[in-house]
Amino acid sequence: MTGRLEGKVALITGGASGMGAATAELFAAEGASVAVTDFNAALSGSVVDAITASGGIAEFFEMDVAREASVASAVSGAVARFGGLDVLVNCAGVIGVDKPTHEVTEEEWDALFAVDVKGVFFATKHAVPHLIERGGGSIVNFSSIYGLIGNDEFTPYHVAKGAVTMQTKQDAASYGRYGIRVNSVHPSTVLTPLVEGIASAYPGGLPAYEEMMTANQSIRRLGRPVEVAYAVLYLASDESAWVTGVNLPLDGGYTAR
């Protein structure tokens, strides 16, 4: 049986941890050659080791998505190593400060936007010429339910993820003529290191946090990284050849209400 990404080359930003790592592992298991990129070299190394130990193909390329030169060099390194690029997954992200607009400093705003918005812009900018050269490809952006709806927390993060939602639609409209599809995934709360940190600081810890965060969901539990990775796999593969410009909620029914 051939894998669902057999023969494809995929580059994942933020591949060292959480949903990026789960996506890298699933992609490799489905036959892709995976460029695992992140600014955390140590963690990325264990993701690459796990993939190669189970017979997959992966290599680490250091990338800080907030710095264009770093993005350009990692993308060209991956293309040189694997001979081209078919799939870009923009997963790197940070959550930033939990403040309402009037309390956020300019530095806090800029730091968050540098990663969550400019990072998607830089990686897309440098990947697109290689996807065009290949005759097409797929870009999957990580937004959030917070890029679709508002609430009263983490304001800069909401606004940044809203920008990713629109970058997805705009790039889908622009690049269809080159055979490039662009879609985004919008998880509600998924149990990753990013969330574990927040949950452990919550009164009552993870169980109380899970109860509170899933109160508006139809399926009242936190998501698992692999449950998101399977959606990214579909959007990256040729199975979704007619799907572009879609902002797909993966949220246990949160936004259905």
Ligand X SMILES: NC(=O)c1ccc[n+]([C@@H]2O[C@H](COP(=O)([O-])OP(=O)(O)OC[C@H]3O[C@@H](n4cnc5c(N)ncnc54)[C@H](O)[C@@H]3O)[C@@H](O)[C@H]2O)c1
Whether 17 contacts 192, CB under 8 Å: yes
CB of 165 to ligand X, least distance (A): 12
The amino acid at 128: V
254 is catalytic: no
Does residue number 40 form part of the binding site for ligand X (CB under 6 A)? Answer: yes
Q: How many residues bind ligand X (CB under 6 A)?
A: 28
Does residue number 198 form part of the binding site for ligand X (CB under 6 A)? Answer: no
Position among 4, 14, 25, 134 found at the interface with ligand X (CB under 6 A): 14
First to last CA, the chain: 40
Does residue number 235 form part of the binding site for ligand X (CB under 6 A)? Answer: no
Does residue number 17 form part of the binding site for ligand X (CB under 6 A)? Answer: yes
Position among 100, 129, 193, 204 found at the interface with ligand X (CB under 6 A): 193
How far is Cα of residue 159 from the mean position of the Cα atoms in its chain?
17
Position among 27, 142, 175, 209 found at the interface with ligand X (CB under 6 A): 142
CB of 2 to ligand X, least distance (A): 28
CB of 179 to ligand X, least distance (A): 26
The arrangement of strands across the sheet holding 57-62 comes to 57-62, 33-38, 9-13, 87-90, 137-142, 180-187, 247-250
Does residue number 251 form part of the binding site for ligand X (CB under 6 A)? Answer: no
Does residue number 162 form part of the binding site for ligand X (CB under 6 A)? Answer: no
- Selected range binding ligand X among 28-36, 103-111, 185-193, 231-239, rule: CB under 6 A: 185-193
- Residue 183 phi/psi, 5-degree rounding, is -135, 165
Does residue number 194 form part of the binding site for ligand X (CB under 6 A)? Answer: yes
Contacts with 39 (C-beta within 8 Å, 6 or more apart), sequence order: 62, 63, 64, 65, 70
Burial class of residue 84, CB neighbours in 10 A (0-12, 13-18, 19+): middle
Strand partners, 248: 185
CB of 219 to ligand X, least distance (A): 14
Does residue number 120 form part of the binding site for ligand X (CB under 6 A)? Answer: no
Question: Which pair of structure tokens corresponds to residue 145?
Answer: 């339910």
Position among 65, 78, 163, 229 found at the interface with ligand X (CB under 6 A): 65
CB of 172 to ligand X, least distance (A): 19
Strand partners, 141: 90, 184
By DSSP bridging, strand 87-90 and strand 9-13 are parallel
Interface contacts to ligand X, rule CB under 6 A: 13-14, 16-20, 38-40, 63-66, 91-94, 115, 142, 144, 187, 189-190, 192-195
Question: Which residues are part of the catalytic machinery?
Answer: 157
